[in-house]
Homo-oligomer: A and B are copies of this chain.
Amino acid sequence: MKIAVLPGDGIGVEIVAEAVKVLRALDLKFEMEEALVGGAAYEAHGHPLPESTLKLAKEADAVLFGAVGDWKYDKLERKLRPEQAILGLRKELGLFANFRPAICYEQLTHASSLKPELVAGLDILIIRELTGDIYFGQPRGRREAPDGAFAGQPEAFDTMRYTRPEIERIAHVAFQAARKRNRKVTSVDKANVLETFQFWKDVVTEVHAQYPDVELEHMYVDNAAMQLVRAPKKFDVIVTGNMFGDILSDEAAMLTGSIGMLPSASLNERKQGLYEPSHGSAPDIAGQGVANPLATILSAAMMLRYSLDQEEAARRIEAAVKDVLAQNLRTADIYSEGTTKVGTKEMGDAVVARLKAQ
Contacts and interface: CB of A to CB of B under 8 A. Distances in A.
Interface of A: 78, 81, 83, 87, 113-115, 118, 134-135, 137-138, 140-142, 145, 147-148, 150, 153-166, 190, 192-200, 221-223, 225-226, 228-230, 243-244, 246-251, 253-255, 259
A225 B196 contact: no
Given A113-B115, A150-B163, A160-B134, A140 B251 contact: no
Contacts of A158: 159-161, 194-196
Contacts of A78: 192, 198
Contacts of A147: 138
Nearest to A158: B160
**What copy number does this chain have within its complex?**
2
A142 B254 CA distance: 36
A108 to B, nearest CB: 14
By DSSP majority rule, is chain A's interface helix, strand, loop, or mixed? helix
A150 B166 CA distance: 8
A159 B160 contact: yes
A10 to B, nearest CB: 15
A154 B160 contact: no
Given A161-B145, A163-B150, A165-B150, A83 B155 contact: no
A205 B153 CA distance: 18
A193 B160 CA distance: 12
A194 to B, nearest CB: 5
A248 B156 CA distance: 22
Contacts of A114: 113-115, 229
B165 A195 contact: no
A203 to B, nearest CB: 9
Nearest to A200: B156
Scoring A87, A163, A192, A244 by chain B CB atoms within 10 A of each residue's CB, the highest score goes to A163
Scoring A155, A190, A230 by chain B CB atoms within 10 A of each residue's CB, the highest score goes to A155
A69 to B, nearest CB: 9
B81 A192 contact: yes
A200 B157 CA distance: 11
Contact of A156 (B162, B230, B254): B162
12 contacts: A78-B192, A113-B229, A138-B147, A142-B199, A148-B161, A153-B163, A155-B163, A158-B195, A226-B251, A226-B253, A228-B251, A229-B251
Contact of A161 (B155, B192, B247): B155
B155 A162 contact: yes
A145 B137 CA distance: 11
Contact of A229 (B141, B195, B198, B255): B255
